[in-house]
A and B are shown apart, each in its own frame.
Chain A
Amino acid sequence: MKVPIQKLTDLGLGVFNWVDDRLHVKKIWESTAGHHVPQSAGSWFYVFGSATLLCFMLQLVTGIMLALVYVPSADEAYATLEYLTYHQQLGWFLRAMHYWGSDFMVGIMLLHMTQVYLFGAYKYPREITWLSGLALLVCTLGLAFTGQVMRFDEDAYWGLGIGASIMGRVPFIGQQLVDFMLGGQIIASETLSRFFALHVFVLPGAVIALVSLHLRMVLTKGINEYPVPGMLVRRETYDKEYAAILKKEGVPFFPKAIDKDIITSAFVIGGIVACAFFFGPKGPGGPADPLQINANPRPDFWFLWIFSIAALMPAEIETFALLVGPAVVGLILVALPFLNGTGEKSWRRRPVAVIVTLLVWISLGILTYLGTTSPWSPVMNAWSAEVTPDAQILHRTPLQLQGAITLQYKQCRNCHAIEGLGGERGPSLSDVGMRLTKPQLVRQVVQGGGNMPAYGQNLSPSEVEALVAYMITLRAEGVPPARDVTLSRNTKN
């Protein structure tokens, strides 16, 4: 049979032309995907924006999949989550992709922001691109926070309590804000419904709108050219210079500058799928049952640094820092393209920008690391779970051994380690006999101080006597006990 190729081609072309006549597909495609970009922008440094968007699209798809099963009710959410994880075919994988997709999205977005900052892309005339990017950052972090509430396990429950406690510190309208956030006076079903609405309707909608604006700005004001050291941005001349660059070395984004974005996309998707497959989804942890008070609430990875700050900040400035700090940081970021909108773009000639970037990343890294180890938290079961090493018991007198028992029984080791076993809230006791004299030890135990509770009420004088007698023996071999230099050598201390 003869295939009427010509006829079929004509028919296809006819259909396309009909659609194009109605929808102007060709024109839209040319002015968007085909818009001209400087050839220098087809760089490996310019792939993070599209990769973030890709993560978001993956989140939309996997999120809709999860919504097919998930029930946003305080009574049912946890059960549906367990069903998703253990019973629904491939439910664990979808959950894992959504979880890892969110981690990747926040991470890549931060890389994108760093690149934009270091390459001066926020400068004239791309202020609105920067501002819409900031709004996207806020929405994405909002999605990550509300997302961990969807898990509705103990971390979610107490995480909401932490959020509410921060709200409660706002002067005058604190109570109203707490009730507004919780959808009531207490963490319950209306809280989950509220966060569900934010997570699946409000925030994704806002992201779609903001991405549209963000991309619209990329089309109207162009993508930032790869900065050349010494080429300064001036409001009067930049637009002409950019037009000249486009004229000289402009190429259509598709297909001439999209190659690296596409390769990155494949790796990002591959990374998410691999993490999902090998590491699986997070949790759910214990159920959101307030009666399970043996919870150790920890936030998700990207919020660990906030968790650390909350532990390490001096109590006196905490409320001020929690409420004013984010506002100040936000204000600086918003003002940046207006205060620093011209001049040098290249990071090679912006040492302050490089130092600021490094400081921020190093601080976030250290705080995140501390958040994973949380040395400030007492180890709640150290007193019943950790052994006392032999070397710390052998050759002790009965009184000293009684002290060792007191030290164990009175939960000292929840905060103080011996030979690395126990809490890190307070200093290690392995060598305390070298650091403190007997009177100092008695004072510290009875009166507390320096962030240690006073035990005067809870220890009998004989218990204190035994405890201190034991602690003096905790020192390296052959080292004499600490002594007060103001006393003469022969005085016993």
Chain B
Amino acid sequence: MNQESDQAPITDAPCACSPSTPCEDPKKKTRREFMLALGLGLNAIAGAAVGIPLLGYVFSSFLKPHELDWVILGSVEKFPEGKTRLGNYKNPFHRSWDGSTADIPCWVRRIKGNEFQVFAINCAHLGCPVRWFEESKLFMCPCHGGAYYEDGERAAGPPPRGLYTYEFKIDNGNLMILAGALPTLAQPNA
């Protein structure tokens, strides 16, 4: 470093350039521009390396296929013919720290023999828990007054459809349902 440049005031203004001492070497300039572009490019890659896994982590629901699994509700004998009873099952995908939220209720209507209807507890309107009234043979919702008939069809109130139903099968004398997701209007087949 020479003495002259130490004393010269540092300014952004273009200095007096002469052919012998150019203040900015055009080669150096392209090098600096290249370094800046390289830096930006490397950071873009680094950002993607962090950002893509991050987005994949948070938005995993957009990539993962929806899955359900068979769970046992209990022996068929538990459910008397012509009656509707409260059943419950453990969420097939529950975690050990789920606590009481792992146990999900549902309404089981045994029409006769192996003829069943298993309804989700959630009202088709906004998901509140519907209650069965044996005497009037109605399901009533405590939130906005939705009501359903014994067979799950909508009877009154704001629900846009009947109760959600689970697919069921009888296996070894056990009633099993396909479960593991909160039913909403996004599942038209539920």
Binds A, one of B3-11, B13-21, B22-30, B98-106: B98-106
Say whether, besides A186-B93, A291-B100, A318-B160, A162 and B127 are in contact (CB < 8 Å): yes
Complex alpha-carbon distance, A458 and B144, angstroms: 23
Residues from chain B with a CB closer than 8 A to the CB of A166 are 126
Say whether, besides A290-B104, A377-B144, A411-B138, A185 and B180 are in contact (CB < 8 Å): yes
Residues from chain A with a CB closer than 8 A to the CB of B48 are none
Any B CB within 8 A of the CB of A144: no
Any A CB within 8 A of the CB of B54: no
Any A CB within 8 A of the CB of B135: yes
Beta-carbon nearest neighbor of A76 in chain B: B99
Complex alpha-carbon distance, A76 and B144, angstroms: 30
Complex alpha-carbon distance, A311 and B186, angstroms: 20
**CB pair A289 B100 closer than 8 Å:** yes
Residues from chain A with a CB closer than 8 A to the CB of B86 are 293
Residues from chain B with a CB closer than 8 A to the CB of A78 are 99
Partner of B125, one of A73, A165, A184, A457: A165
**CB pair B128 A290 closer than 8 Å:** no
**CB pair B158 A310 closer than 8 Å:** yes
Partner of A161, one of B128, B138, B180: B128
Any A CB within 8 A of the CB of B133: yes
**CB pair A315 B158 closer than 8 Å:** yes
Say whether, besides A162-B128, A377-B145, A378-B140, A188 and B101 are in contact (CB < 8 Å): yes
Residues from chain B with a CB closer than 8 A to the CB of A104 are none
Complex alpha-carbon distance, A393 and B71, angstroms: 51
Return the CB mask of B86-110 against A: 1 if under 8 Å, else 0.
1010010111111111111100000
Residues from chain B with a CB closer than 8 A to the CB of A315 are 158-160
Any A CB within 8 A of the CB of B184: yes
Residues from chain B with a CB closer than 8 A to the CB of A291 are 88, 100, 103, 105
Chain A interface: which size bin?
Answer: 35 or more
Any A CB within 8 A of the CB of B136: yes
**CB pair B122 A161 closer than 8 Å:** yes
The A256-283 residues at the B interface (CB cut-off 8 A) are none
B147 to chain A minimum Cβ distance, whole angstroms, is 5
Most-contacted residue by chain A among B88, B95, B121, B185 (CB, 10 A): B185
Most-contacted residue by chain B among A161, A162, A180, A289 (CB, 10 A): A161
The B159-174 residues at the A interface (CB cut-off 8 A) are 159-160
**CB pair B145 A182 closer than 8 Å:** no
Complex alpha-carbon distance, A166 and B127, angstroms: 9
**CB pair A376 B144 closer than 8 Å:** yes
Say whether, besides A451-B156, A458-B137, A168 and B185 are in contact (CB < 8 Å): yes
Residues from chain A with a CB closer than 8 A to the CB of B122 are 161, 165
Complex alpha-carbon distance, A364 and B43, angstroms: 49
**CB pair A457 B149 closer than 8 Å:** yes
Residues from chain B with a CB closer than 8 A to the CB of A185 are 66-67, 93, 180-182
A115 to chain B minimum Cβ distance, whole angstroms, is 34
Most-contacted residue by chain B among A78, A287, A376 (CB, 10 A): A376
**CB pair B101 A184 closer than 8 Å:** no
A307 to chain B minimum Cβ distance, whole angstroms, is 8
A85 to chain B minimum Cβ distance, whole angstroms, is 18
Binds B, one of A54-62, A294-302, A342-350: A294-302
Interface of A is mostly: loop
**CB pair B158 A293 closer than 8 Å:** no
Complex alpha-carbon distance, A78 and B100, angstroms: 10
Partner of B186, one of A75, A174, A452: A174
Complex alpha-carbon distance, A309 and B95, angstroms: 36
Residues from chain A with a CB closer than 8 A to the CB of B66 are 175, 179, 185
**CB pair A188 B135 closer than 8 Å:** no
Residues from chain B with a CB closer than 8 A to the CB of A164 are 127, 182, 184
Any A CB within 8 A of the CB of B157: yes
Complex alpha-carbon distance, A75 and B95, angstroms: 10
Residues from chain A with a CB closer than 8 A to the CB of B136 are 410-412, 453, 455, 458
**CB pair A161 B147 closer than 8 Å:** no
Any B CB within 8 A of the CB of A158: yes
**CB pair B142 A295 closer than 8 Å:** yes
Most-contacted residue by chain A among B62, B94, B101, B121 (CB, 10 A): B101
**CB pair A186 B125 closer than 8 Å:** no
Complex alpha-carbon distance, A5 and B81, angstroms: 96
**CB pair B143 A297 closer than 8 Å:** yes
A-B contact pairs, 6 of them (CB 8 A): A165-B125, A168-B187, A179-B66, A290-B129, A313-B158, A452-B156
Given A168-B187, A169-B184, A380-B140, 7 extra CB contacts under 8 A? A165-B122, A188-B94, A291-B103, A297-B128, A297-B142, A377-B144, A457-B137
Question: 8 closest A-B pairs (Cβ-Cβ)?
Answer: A168-B184, A174-B186, A75-B99, A179-B61, A161-B127, A453-B155, A311-B144, A289-B100
Query: Which B residues have a C-beta under 8 Å from some C-beta of A?
Result: 59, 61-62, 64, 66-67, 86, 88, 91, 93-105, 121-122, 125-129, 131, 133, 135-138, 140, 142-145, 147, 149-150, 155-160, 180-182, 184-187
Query: Which A residues have a C-beta under 8 Å from some C-beta of B?
Result: 73-76, 78, 157-158, 161-162, 164-170, 173-180, 182, 184-190, 287-291, 293-297, 307, 310-311, 313, 315, 318-319, 376-378, 380, 383, 409-412, 414-415, 425, 448, 451-455, 457-458
